[in-house]
Structure 1
Amino acid sequence: MHKPLFQKTFITNRRFMAEPLNKPKRPPQIRTGLTDTGVKKAADKSARTRAREFALQALYQHLVGRNDADSIDAFTRDLVGFHKADSAHYDALLHGCIEGASALDAVITPLLDRPMAEISPVEHAVLWMGAYEFRQCLDVPYRVVINECIELAKAFGGTDGHKYVNGVLHKMAPSLRAAEVAADQTK
């Protein structure tokens, strides 16, 4: 006597569908720490990366809603997951970018191929953060600043916004971090 290869499964209107008895196993999932879109999963993010994400959201509120820094700060600190962020870095980015907005725009604008008004608020905020970190956060290597800004633009910006951010920040780095860029190019 042989074993049946299929089992009958009841479907509506008294019809049956053949279903294999031995279903093949799915291959095990490979855990890369990335989502389907290539962005880091929340568990794999550093405190500074989280701080940059919250700062970006706060700067977006400032650019779009014209809200003041203190109300944005209070709102952002109440968001889920903020306790995992580097609050000192968040404070520096948020308040430093808002207070130095005109100086940051003066650094960014000559590197753009269009007026600042045509840049999306997300890319504008990311460029502010990149320029601020180039100038004020000398403990962060310039390549890390560029990479973090690209990742923010990928996660929050338009389809190809990260490419634009990459180009602008690569033009900006030699003027704001000349020694570091020169040392990196001689390697």
Structure 2
Amino acid sequence: MNRRRPDGIDPVARSRARRRALQAVYAWQMSGSDARQVVAQFAHEQAREVADLAYFEDLVHGVDKHRDELDRALKPFLDREIDQVDAIELAALRIAAYELRHRLDVPYRVVINEAIETVKRFGAEHGHTYVNGVLDHAAAEWRATEVGAARGR
């Protein structure tokens, strides 16, 4: 069965890449090791899962490269200091913030939905509601035109 869209993107492989990226960013945040090492550790397993390896690497390296910018951008939407955000939720927020700000080819609704689903899978019981609220507000500001069009404004 061919899952690829007309633009060549396989949504299932992208979802797997995001799940793996969440795990990799979480591991990187917790260990403090170099992101390249984390990518190398996850890459072999990633390829076996038939995920989008290039997208996985872009997400992890993108979060690593832009971490300070992403954290500053997220700060106005958080109800606590960034170091007080649950590690899984923070990893999901950083990945989604990277996608919202640097991967304009990915619709904001896809970014938010994928973040929610990964947090539901790996995070605390109600963590996805927090992530949803933060990202909904962030997307409304960062992608105002796209969000407005989707909401009929």
Q: Which residue of 1 aligns with 2:15?
A: 49
Verify: 1:91 aligned to 2:57, yes or no. Answer: yes
Matched, 1:179 2:145: yes
For structure 1, the residue ranges without an aligned partner over 5 or more in a row are: 1-44
Q: CA deviation at 1:78?
A: 2.2
**Structure 1 residue 168: Cα displacement:** 0.1
Q: How many residues align?
A: 143
Higher relative contact order (CA 8 A, sep 6+): 2
Q: CA 1:81/1:185 → structure 2, altered by over 3 Å: closer, same or farther?
A: same
C-alpha contact 1:54 1:82 (8 A) present in aligned 2? no
- The whole-number CA distance in structure 2 between the counterparts of 1:104 and 1:166 is 17
Determine if contact 1:76/1:82 at 8 Å carries over to the other structure: no
For residue 185 of structure 1, report the CA deviation from its aligned partner: 1.4
TM-score (normalizing by structure 2): 0.89
1:100 matched residue in structure 2: 66
Distance 1:153 1:81 in 2: 22
Which residue matches 1:140? 106
| Aligned counterpart in structure 2 of residue 113 of structure 1, from 59, 79, 90 | 79
* Cα pair 2:47 2:53 within 8 Å, conserved: no
Measure the CA separation in 2 of the matches of 1:61 and 1:70. Answer: 12
More strand by share: 1
Q: Hey, what's the Cα distance between the residues in 1 that align with 2:45 and 2:88?
A: 19
Q: Distance in 2 between matches of 1:183 and 1:80?
A: 35
Letter matched to residue 69 of structure 2: A
CA contact (8 A) 1:60 1:125 kept: yes
Aligned counterparts of 1:76 and 1:82: Cα–Cα separation in 2: 10
Over 3 Å counting, the alpha-carbon distance change for 1:80 and 1:108 in structure 2 is: closer
For each residue in 1:107-136, what CA deviation from the matched residue of structure 2 results, as whole angstroms up to 9, or x when unmatched? 111111111111111100100011111011
Residues 4-153 of structure 1 aligned to structure 2 (within 5 Å): 46-79=12-45, 82-153=48-119
Normalising by structure 1, report the TM-score.
0.73
Q: Calculate the aligned-residue CA RMSD, in Å.
A: 1.4
* Structure with greater proportional helix content: 2
- Give the % identical residues: 43
